[in-house]
Amino acid sequence: MTGSEIDDRAGWRPVARARTYELVIDRIEEQIVSGQLVVGDRLPPERDLAQMLGVSRAAVREAFRALEAQGVLRMAVGTGPDSGTTVAALPSQALTRLLRFHVALANFPMADVVRARIMLERESARTAAQRATEAELEELRELLDEMDAPDCDRERFNDLDTRFHVAIAEAGGNRLVADMTIAIRESLRRPLLAAFDDLGDEWDPIADGLRHDHRLIHRALLARDAAEAEAQVERHIRSFYRSAWLQDLG
């Protein structure tokens, strides 16, 4: 027999020795799931909580850091009403950081990310065509006008472009979809700017193409034409990906 008899027996796997800070997280999660902690609530001061849980302050702090990284907590010094450690609602920022790291690590292939982006933004465009308010449509138009300015460099263009797509996602009304859209766009910011620079002289015609695409999307939204908005968004993203990365999505 090559292995030990007590190994790989179905149904048995080693217990993961929980680290102290994970136990602290578990206690906090209990409070959240049971509804005893809601967004805006304050947690006890680190020193107090450490004593209450019977652990060191360092363990509490490491737990807080992990939760802060997930956008669940917000920490601030001082005394006032906004100070201390409070339960936050920052899923968008946390999602963005998470995705940025994993895109940089190439855990998600670029093509997969772009396909996901198409899926998300089609959904948002469809919903936005149905329920965007007049004010939201007007805001989109203003963004497009700003992108037409002659002194709009590539970085500013990209930031306005991002705001345009994010505004559509938020007009779509689905928080989760909007936050995922934001996360994808922001995580692509650096590679996108690098691709813009690589374009060299080809930039101007491509930017004009993007401006034209955006107007078509905006027009479809104004016309409340969900199918057209979806189609234009998909065409827009695919053609941009093709020109910036010289690849097709198949």
Partner DNA sequence: GACCTTTCTATGGTCAGACCAAGAGCTGGC
Partner DNA sequence: GCCAGCTCTTGGTCTGACCATAGAAAGGTC
User: Contact residues for DNA (CB under 7 A)?
Assistant: 17, 19-21, 43, 45-48, 54-59, 61-62, 64, 75-85
Q: Which stretch binds its own copies (CB under 8 A): 43-51, 60-68, 153-161, 219-227?
A: 60-68
Contact 203, 196 (CB under 8 A): yes
Of 161, 163, 159, 168, residue with least CA distance to 136 = 168
Q: Is 86 helix (H, G, I), strand (E, B) or coil?
A: strand
Binding site partner of 80, from its own copies, DNA, none, Cβ cut-off 5-8 A by kind = DNA
- How many whole angstroms separate alpha carbon 106 and alpha carbon 8? 32
Residue 170 contact, options DNA, its own copies, none, Cβ 5-8 Å cut-off depending on partner type: none
42 binds its own copies (CB under 8 A): no
Q: Which stretch binds its own copies (CB under 8 A): 7-15, 83-91, 162-170, 200-208?
A: 83-91
Examine residue 236 and tell whether it contacts its own copies (CB under 8 A).
no
Structure tokens at 109: 């292939």
Greatest alpha-carbon pair distance for the chain in Å reads: 76
Please identify which residue in the block is written with the tokens 């990310």.
113
Compare residues 47 and 102 and give the one whose CB is closer to DNA: 47
Q: Which helix (H) or strand (E) holds 8?
A: none
Identify which of residues 73 and 132 has a Cβ nearer to DNA in the complex.
73
Within 158-197, which residues bind its own copies (CB under 8 A)?
174-177, 179-180, 190
Q: How far apart are CA 243 and CA 155, in angstroms?
A: 17
Q: Kindly state whether residue 109 participates in binding its own copies, applying the rule CB under 8 A.
A: yes
